[in-house]
Amino acid sequence: MTAPQTKAEPRAGKAPLSEQIAMIKARNLMVAQVASTNWGMGLSPIMQRAVAEYIRVTGLDLTEIDILGGRIYRNSVYSLRRLSELVAEGKIEYARADFIHEDPRLTEIAENADAPPPEREWAIAEIWRRKRECITRSIPLEAHYACVFRVKVRGVDGEFADAKWIQLGRLNRKDKLADPIGNEHPIETLVSRAAHRTLRFVSTKFEAIGSVERQLDEIAEAIIEEIPKDERKAEPAAREEPRPDRPPIPEEYYPNPAKQLTEGAPPDPLIQRLDLEKAARAMAGPDPYTDAVGAESGTEPAPIAAAAEALTPAVNTVVGDDVAPAKAPSDEEWQDDRSLVD
């Protein structure tokens, strides 16, 4: 008598095949989103997958990271969100922007004889306060906008602050705008950059705040170190440096070169060739992830995924609410700290 057949049970520690396929699709979608960004389209396929894995493991948003010199950095968008979370958690009393550039409206109020006396007194005091801040923080006279971002850590006397400034129309050695983003959005740029630098400085001084930042750095390093060095840095995008013997690719083909096909236009041989070359590069490089077949066959996880998964619990570690008492640094100590970069 033949024994009744039973449904095969999934091996311990392995997710069902349907879940693995869904995870692979989600990863591929994130890779496509990375490749569609201005900074991601020039990355190698394996680097695009590494960035997507970092986003998946850490839970960060695509807008909160940048790739500079082949390394993953969290940008000012992340810093502003992180500071708001620290205020909500009670670790920081306040985090606010203080603008210190000259404002013609203050002068108008101060010189207006018909203005209420309290308002005139406030305007005069504010004008002198801003001048004092600019002088103290070495803001150049050519600056059109300046901001000091202030952070007060709970249980610490004094506050942490850093200043940034923007000069509109400033040109570099190639007679191009030295800061096009700041020139177009000066207020938003000032706040985000000053907040970013201030958060980094505070993170180096307090364990309860800096532990999460260090864990995110460790995950980025663990993922990137598995990538060959020649695959880390971004390559010039095709639309930025078109070959002289070919016409430039129309702007509407980005970020999806196959967009024309969905609109009923005839295929463009140039776009088809670029798609084939991109696919060939992706197939030629090693796949840093364990696909569904590999997972079922019991193969070892790929280096990038393994490195990220090994550090995943660290990101979800709850940081204690206690902040060790400390004194805020003096102005000299702040200026002498060269370990931070803009």
Give pLDDT, residue 330: 53
Query: Can you tell me whether residue 37 is helix, strand or coil?
Result: coil
Task: Write out the DSSP string of 165-177.
Answer: EE-TT-B-TTSSB
Residue with tokens 């509109």: 168
Give pLDDT, residue 149: 94
Distances (CA, A) of 178 to 167, 169, 195: 9, 8, 21
> Which residues contact residue 249 at a Cβ distance below 8 angstroms, ignoring those fewer than 6 apart?
238, 239, 242, 257, 270, 271, 274
**CA separation for the pair 239, 145 (Å, rounded):** 34
Give pLDDT, residue 265: 42
- Local confidence pLDDT in tens for the 342 residues of the chain: 444 444 445 555 566 888 778 878 888 888 888 888 888 888 888 888 899 989 988 989 988 988 877 888 888 889 999 999 999 999 999 999 999 999 999 999 999 999 999 999 999 999 999 999 999 999 999 999 999 999 999 988 889 999 999 999 999 998 899 988 888 889 888 898 899 889 988 998 888 888 988 999 999 999 888 888 878 776 644 444 444 444 443 443 333 433 333 344 444 444 444 445 554 554 455 444 444 334 434 444 444 445 444 444 444 333 334 444 444 455 554 444 444 444
